[in-house]
Amino acid sequence: MKNIAIFGSSRSGKSTLSKMISRKYPNYHIIIGDDIRWAFQEILPNNNINSKGGIGMKEDFPNFLSCLFYKSIKRNKGIFNYIVETCDMTPQKAYELFNDEDTVLLFLRNT
């Protein structure tokens, strides 16, 4: 099975879709970008990761999330598959970081 990367605006259904997939296919583990971003804010409040124009990881978060996703896949290959879901990057950046033959990219939007 392929890994899945789900991107979209807030309240577009990313979490709902992720949960539906992981319920149907229990070998999928979900990496939630919002949870990781908020954990960084809690532990490193001076980082300003959640503010526009903040310093530090705001610009590097997509790269960090991609690294976490692919390291998790590599470490658990054949045991688990992964779903990453986030609204923290543009479609262009998502294609750049997540577009490979083993990952399905999904882009959701509000209608």
Buried-exposed string 17-35: b where 16+ CB fall within 10 A, e elsewhere: bbeebbeeeeebbbbbbee
pLDDT at 87: 86
Domain residue limits at 97: 3-108
**Sequence-ordered strand ranges (E) for the chain:** 3-8, 28-32, 81-86, 103-108
Q: How many domains does the chain have?
A: 1
**Number of Cβ within a 10 Å radius of residue 77:** 10
Question: For residue 37, what is the enclosing H or E element?
Answer: helix 33-43
Taking the complete model, does pTM exceed 0.75, yes or no?
A: yes
* CATH number for position 86: 3.40.50.300
In tens digits, the chain (111 residues) has pLDDT values of 899 999 998 899 999 999 999 999 999 999 998 888 888 778 777 766 655 555 555 567 888 889 999 999 999 988 999 999 998 788 999 999 999 999 999 999 887
